[in-house]
Amino acid sequence: MRTIALRDALREALHEEMARDESVFVIGEDVIAHGGPYTVTQGIVDKWPDRIFETPIAEAGIVGLGVGAALAGMRPVVEIMYVDFITCAMDEVVNQAAKMRYMTGGQASVPIVIRLPCGPARLVAAQHSQIMESWFMHVPGLQVAAPSTPYDAKGLMKTAIRSPDPVAFFEYKALYVSEGKVPEEDYVIPFGKADIKREGEDATVVAIGGMVPRALEAGVALEDEGYDIEVVDPRTLAPLDMETICESVRRTGRAVVCEMDSSFAGTGAEIAAALAEQCFHDLRAPIVRVGSPHVPMPFAEELVNVTVPDSAAVCDAVRKVMA
């Protein structure tokens, strides 16, 4: 099995699905000239020059075009250069793509994938560093994926493209160059199936997206203190596999929920609330959440480093539930 970067795994998924299905096409800013800002769409124009289109900086128009094409039977993969600017297309995502199947009684569907590079990277400050997963989890009819490894990224992207319903696909910019094993043969990963990235007995750490490698680092560091943590990666946030998460928490009796986004009204809050409802009598300690403070992302590197939670923050949270 090969070792490749996450962005290369995404690129492979796009190429393979475009070869498999002629209705798949790509639109977005700079997706031809530069292969997108992170080179994920590189090489597509050489194989399918009539199935990749560059757009103006007009997110509402980009997503609107994608929704219309999806309603007409195509399978668009829309790239929004930074998730921050999906706010310019919220009507198209929330009121059109997500609700069309329901409003037509199942007569119409919108098989669109909206790629959303997200999170802090390269010191791009408050307007280019947001994550915003919880915004989209709250929208009925919208699927939300947040892979943390190259293997998951490729398998989930292929599932997203084949899905009959809209998918918000969150890609953590800091993970694009991270490497992992990816098989050469075709595979897909079903939505709504979490993955246990590390088995352990003492505490469950539910880590989302960019926090997964940091939780794994914490797991190694905590071994020296005698703590054996289990790391659960939801992989998709809507649907959310609470069954696997709860099974883990019932075994360990302790739960830490980690996200890179603001912890206020966030993804971690939803998971923690569900754990409190479903696993209350199995808990040996209060649930602890790890996340960023409720502030805009700063520009200065020193401030970014104290804003975004690291493996040390995960270690501190585990120590709290083990105390």
Residue-wise pLDDT tens digits, 3-30: 999 999 999 999 999 999 999 999 999 9
Please state whether beta strands 2-5 and 179-182 pair in parallel, antiparallel, or not at all (unpaired): antiparallel
Question: Could you say which of 3.30.470.10, 3.40.50.1820, 3.40.50.11540, 3.40.50.970 is the CATH number of the domain covering 2-182?
Answer: 3.40.50.970
Q: What is the pLDDT of residues 145-166, one digit of tens each?
A: 999 999 999 999 999 999 999 9
pTM over 0.95: yes
Predicted confidence at residue 219, as pLDDT, reads 98
CA–CA separation, 317 and 7 (whole Å): 31
User: What residues does each domain of the chain span?
Assistant: 2-182, 195-322
Predicted confidence at residue 119, as pLDDT, reads 96
| Band of pLDDT at residue 34, cut at 50, 70 and 90 | confident
Question: Could you say which of 3.40.50.920, 1.10.10.10, 3.40.1370.10, 3.20.20.70 is the CATH number of the domain covering 195-322?
Answer: 3.40.50.920
Q: Is it the case that residue 46 has pLDDT exceeding 80?
A: yes
195-322 shares the fold of 2-182 = yes
Predicted confidence at residue 83, as pLDDT, reads 98
Which amino acids are annotated catalytic? 128
